[in-house]
Structure 1
Amino acid sequence: MSVFLSEEQQAVFETSHEFGAEKIAPFARAWEQAGEIPKSLWPELAALGLGGVYVSEDHGGSGLSRLDGVLVFEALAMACPSVAAFLSIHNMCGGMIDRFGDESAKAQWLPRACSMETVFSYCLTEPGSGSDAAALKTRAVRGDAGYTLTGNKAFISGGGYSDAYIVMCRTDENISAMIVEDGTVGLSFGGLEDKMGWRAQPTRAVQLDGCLVPHTNLLGEEGRGFAYAMAGLDGGRLNIAACALGGAQAALNATLKYMGERQAFGQTIDRFQALQFRLADMEVKLQTARVFLRHAAALLDAGAVEATKFCAMAKLYVTDVCFDVANDCLQLHGGYGYLADYGIEKIVRDLRVHQILEGTNEIMRVIIARQMVAAT
């Protein structure tokens, strides 16, 4: 791994991994059973600079690159993909404010985001507009006192838990981005979703019934929200892929340990050549996924024309490969893999959604193919 990283980047990975191993991994199952990540965790992560990974140092952030970011989230996801993914969503929001907000908005929101005094969630998906995000119906009407928001958002990680929400909404015929704080009159939440995976982070519908927010809560320019959302999703797709990679790597590490201890027919099962071949195939898959992901992150950092296509390709390839690896690891554990005590079934459940969110992998194929055709 270190051959591709500078000393500073290796330190970023190791620091994140050590934190996850000490502060997250021992409690991941309990948090899943409770259905909530304790809020006391976030200031500890913020103290490491992980509350504002993509926020400039001028506003309290770490000012890290996208390549640095995928290292952070891969390392943390080795402890728990659900926790790492939730942190990545908060950081996507912080990065959007830093990139698109005016100086007043940055001063208002970013210090609290970086300290994680204010935890952010992202509200794009609606009951009738998932993959077709541009068809969203939530509306913001401008008035003298501010914007009045009406609509419903679905599948929101942190719904009813987070302190503020970046909400994509329609202003006239265009889409804008608004920041809605928890406690705003007219803001409410649906019931807790009972999910297959990511059970440690609460997911609810976010309902906006005449929510009045100040004009200053408009993020960037009115009517530019869809462009902001799509730009944010490039980085979000890398982060979700990184979380899948960390989870799959943790599953493979656990499987190697298990196979070195499990006896069958007079020897440990890691001595059977057929099973060794499966281990080799999984190692190749994860290493190629890692190189591909880091390459896509480097392209996004460089502002390359093809960055969006490569982010889509990395999200598609890495999340598919990593789910397959985790599922194979469960198989190699036999019946024990199906038991919660061994931790593999949780990883399989957590990673399944990575093939769906931040744009389904079917939509990733659409993005890739369209860019290929446009280039001819």
Structure 2
Amino acid sequence: MHFDLTEEQQLIADTARRLAEDKIAPLAETLDRGEGREAFLANLRLLADNGFMGLNVRAEHGGTEAGTVAFALAIEALARACASTAVTCSVSNMVGEVIQAVGSDAQRAAYLPRLCDGTFAAGGFCLTEAGAGSDPAGMRTRAVKDGDSYVLNGAKLYITSAEYAGVFVVWAVTDPEAPKGKGISCFLVEAGTPGLVIGKAEKKMGQTGSATNEVLFQDCRVPASALMGPENNGFRTAVGELAGGRIGVASLALGIARAAMDAAKAYAREREQFGQSLADMQGIQWMIADRETELEAARLLILQAAWAKDQGRPFGKEASMAKLFASEAAQKATYTALQIHGGAGYIKDYPLERHARDARITTIYEGTSEIQRLIIAREVLKAV
């Protein structure tokens, strides 16, 4: 198997790393305190200017057209600096891919250039509801056809970037009599549409620089042209895009874990106890060796899933494996790094407690670890 990156992939990885180090990392602590929104939005625009908001969007629509491997490398580099920035970029790329995959020519022309060039600070992915998280087919948001319009009513929960997203991809039930999951459609709703209400901001444990809100639809009227793809066929789109999104979350988890282990290795080399550095102690060496091995395995799983997607091959199982393994490895890596720091790791002067908080959600969003195990088991048992 050929593991070398293409020249374009290496360029994107290098550019992401440079922007992360120069512009994004210096803001991470400020964002974690709930401050620095204007600088954050400026960094999102900078990422758009450098092609990171449409990495898998075709050039004719303003995208970079670099593929999923490049996307995974970029998200890892960004997350190494700031998980809040990385998740915003990842979700915006998901929105762009949905529009490209099932949008009409007019929808692609209207929305993709603005998403890719930073006219829209971000995109919103409105799927989860209070009673439909791991089971999105149980959603209750309704879209009722009324002449040449649809009227949306309902509430979506935990929507990333809702406060500054320029466009939302929204799933709603259009045929309540259809079997579960069969009567769901997908719509494009622009920010500022009457009846689209951005609800309260969630107070989160981690990734606090990224806005997460409830999004309400209160007699929100959109034109019939806002429907993406065939009516009642939207759930299949949601499932497919969640698989792609899991590559992003896996990459994000890996980036956070890499940052934590970088800090742990540096601290172990400089901290002395009992007349020697921590790095010279076999117990610490074994902790580092185990975590680094797991992170390298996570990297290979991510690249395998990304490569399969780029090749047009089935990749759902591979994406779930990558997301499961990388997110669980990130929990161990961040806590191991914190442990190596000892008491210092528990203090906000060091970044370890932020990395640990930021990593925790990666086993939950885009499908919990338990859901990933169900998907993997279902797929591997099909082959028996």
User: Which TM-score tier does this pair reach, normalised by the shorter chain?
Assistant: over 0.9
Q: For structure 1, which segment, 239-248 or 340-349, has the greater mean C-alpha deviation from structure 2 after superposition?
A: 340-349
Q: CA–CA distance in 1 between the matches of 2:35 and 2:227?
A: 32
Q: Deviations over 1:188-243 (max 9, x none)?
A: 12221111111001111111111001112112222221111111111100000000
> Structure 1 residues 65, 153: CA separation in 2 closer, same or farther (over 3 Å shift)?
same
Q: CA–CA distance in 2 between the matches of 1:54 and 1:8?
A: 13
2:140 to 133, 137, 159: 137
Q: CA–CA distance in 2 between the matches of 1:54 and 1:120?
A: 15
Task: Supply the RMSD in Å over aligned alpha carbons.
Answer: 1.4
**What is the Cα deviation at residue 4 of structure 1?**
3.3
SS of structure 2 residue aligned to 1:275 = helix
The amino acid of 1:143's aligned partner reads D
Aligned position for 2:205: 196
- For the 8 Å contact 2:338–2:352, the answer to whether it is kept is yes
Asked if residue 70 in structure 1 is aligned to residue 65 in structure 2, the reply is no
Q: Deviations over 1:119-176 (max 9, x none)?
A: 2110100001110110101010111241100001111112233222111111114111
Aligned position for 2:32: 32
Q: Which runs of 5+ in 1 are unaligned?
A: none
- For the 8 Å contact 1:166–1:178, the answer to whether it is kept is yes
2:114 to 105, 112, 115: 112
Q: CA–CA distance in 2 between the matches of 1:153 and 1:130?
A: 10
- For the 8 Å contact 2:87–2:210, the answer to whether it is kept is no
SS of structure 1 residue aligned to 2:165 = coil
2:149 to 140, 143, 146: 146
Tell me the TM-score normalized by structure 1: 0.97
SS of structure 2 residue aligned to 1:340 = coil
1:205 to 214, 220, 234: 214
Aligned position for 2:377: 369
**What is the Cα deviation at residue 262 of structure 1?**
0.9
Aligned position for 1:182: 191
Alignment of 1:72-87 (within 5 A): 72-87=74-89
The amino acid of 1:103's aligned partner reads D
Asked if residue 100 in structure 1 is aligned to residue 95 in structure 2, the reply is no
1:171 to 171, 174, 194: 174
Aligned position for 1:360: 368
The amino acid of 1:26's aligned partner reads P
Q: CA–CA distance in 2 between the matches of 1:311 and 1:122?
A: 19
Q: CA–CA distance in 2 between the matches of 1:235 and 1:112?
A: 22
Q: CA–CA distance in 2 between the matches of 1:111 and 1:206?
A: 24
**What is the Cα deviation at residue 35 of structure 1?**
5.3
Alignment of 1:5-16 (within 5 A): 5-16=5-16
SS of structure 1 residue aligned to 2:184 = strand
Aligned position for 1:20: 20
Q: CA–CA distance in 1 between the matches of 2:8 and 2:164?
A: 34
Aligned position for 2:351: 343
- For the 8 Å contact 2:55–2:63, the answer to whether it is kept is yes
SS of structure 1 residue aligned to 2:365 = coil
Q: CA–CA distance in 2 between the matches of 1:265 and 1:249?
A: 28
Alignment of 1:255-294 (within 5 A): 255-294=264-303
Q: Deviations over 1:18-47 (max 9, x none)?
A: 101111101111012125643222221111
Aligned position for 1:44: 46
- For the 8 Å contact 2:132–2:139, the answer to whether it is kept is yes
- For the 8 Å contact 1:101–1:219, the answer to whether it is kept is yes
Q: CA–CA distance in 1 between the matches of 2:3 and 2:276?
A: 35
The amino acid of 1:362's aligned partner reads E
Q: Deviations over 1:285-331 (max 9, x none)?
A: 111111111011111222223x1111111111111011211111011
Aligned position for 1:224: 233
Asked if residue 215 in structure 1 is aligned to residue 217 in structure 2, the reply is no
Aligned position for 2:160: 157
